[in-house]
């Protein structure tokens, strides 16, 4: 089976506060414009070393610890102050909000259309090289469990 195009993928910020439990979907999203790259989430599990002096194989032994929802990285064109202000306002608010990564290239009938996640903006930076475009980069630190789902395939 062929893959899907990433072109048209969007990052939405919930316009109203609500829990992210797959039974309550924010009904509307504000999409951050002019994104050129969305990376993540980078989910990982901590490992806990449980090796003892009497481990039989002389190999370290591990068990799974807490799971970290990771981060989302963003890159985009700073075509207007709107995208930058959205990110800076969220960073200044220091609040946990709901986000949606909407994969537009994936057919609606296919599972895995969206990432629904909660997090906070933890970085924002602009770049204006003398021979290039004005761009921005930013990051989201996720909190709680992210969901890869097609449950909320709404606009």
Total domains in the fold of the chain: 1
Listed in sequence order, the residues at least 6 apart from 63 whose beta carbon sits closer than 8 Å to its beta carbon are 47, 48, 50
Tell me the mean pLDDT in the region 24-49.
86
pTM assigned to the model: 0.83
pLDDT of 155 = 42
Give the model's confidence band at 15: pLDDT under 50 very low, under 70 low, under 90 confident, else very high: confident
Q: Considering the domain boundaries, does residue 1 fall inside one? A: no
Q: Which domain holds residue 81?
A: 10-42+71-149
Q: Considering the domain boundaries, does residue 115 fall inside one? A: yes
């Amino acid at each position: 089976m062929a893959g899907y195009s990433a072109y048209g993928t969007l990052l939405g910020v919930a316009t109203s506060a609500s829990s992210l439990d797959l039974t309550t979907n924010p009904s509307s999203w504000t999409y951050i414009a002019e994104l050129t790259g969305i990376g993540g989430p980078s989910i990982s599990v901590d490992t806990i070393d449980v090796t003892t002096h009497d481990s039989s194989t002389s190999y370290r032994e591990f068990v799974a610890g807490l799971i970290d929802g990771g981060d989302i990285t963003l890159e985009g064109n700073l075509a207007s102050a709107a995208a930058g202000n959205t990110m800076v306002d969220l960073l200044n608010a220091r609040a946990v909000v709901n986000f949606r990564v909407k994969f537009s290239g994936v057919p609606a009938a296919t599972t895995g259309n969206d990432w629904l996640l909660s997090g906070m903006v933890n970085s924002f930076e602009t770049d204006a090289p003398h021979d290039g475009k004005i761009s921005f980069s930013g990051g989201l630190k996720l909190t709680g469990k992210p969901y890869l789902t097609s449950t909320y395939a709404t606009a």
